[in-house]
Amino acid sequence: MDARRRNNVTVIGCEDAPTVLLAHGFGCDQNLWRLVVPDLSKRFRIVLFDHVGSGRSDVAAWSPQRYTTLDGYAEDVLEICAELDLRDVVLVGHSVSAMIAVLAANREPERFAKLVLLTPSPCYLDDGDYRGGFTRADIDELLDSLESNYLGWSAAMAPVIAGNPDRPEVAGELEAAFCRTDPAIARVFARTTFLSDNRADLADVTVRTAVLQCSSDAIAPREVGQFVHDRIEGSVLVTLDAIGHCPQLSAPEQTAAAIAEFAGAR
Question: Active-site residue numbers?
Answer: 95, 217, 245
User: How many whole angstroms separate alpha carbon 46 and alpha carbon 89?
Assistant: 10
Looking at the Cβ atoms of 207 and 224, the one nearer to another protein is 224
For residues 62 and 188, give the distance between their C-alpha atoms in angstroms, rounded to a whole number.
Answer: 11
* DSSP letter, residue 127: B
The interface region with another protein, picked from 11-19, 21-29, 224-232, 257-265 by CB under 8 A, is 21-29
191 with 70: CB under 8 angstroms? no
Shortest Å distance, C-beta 146 to another protein: 7
Stretch that binds another protein, among 30-38, 44-52, 54-62, 84-92 (CB under 8 A): 30-38
CA distance 178 to 97: 18
5's CB contacts (< 8 A; 6+ apart) are 58
Least distance (Å) between residue 14 CB and another protein: 25
- Closest to another protein by CB, 62 vs 194, is 194
178 binds another protein (CB under 8 A): yes
Side-chain-side CA neighbours of 206 within 13 Å: the count stands at 6
147 lines the binding site for another protein (CB under 8 A): yes
136 binds another protein per the rule CB under 8 A: no
Contact window for another protein (CB under 8 A) among 4-12, 106-114, 226-234, 245-253: 245-253
CA pair distance 259, 21, nearest whole angstrom = 11
Asked if 239 and 222 count as a contact pair (C-beta separation under 8 A), the reply is: yes
- Positions touching another protein (CB under 8 A) are 25-28, 31-32, 34, 95, 134-135, 138-149, 151-152, 175, 178-179, 194, 216-219, 243-246, 249-250
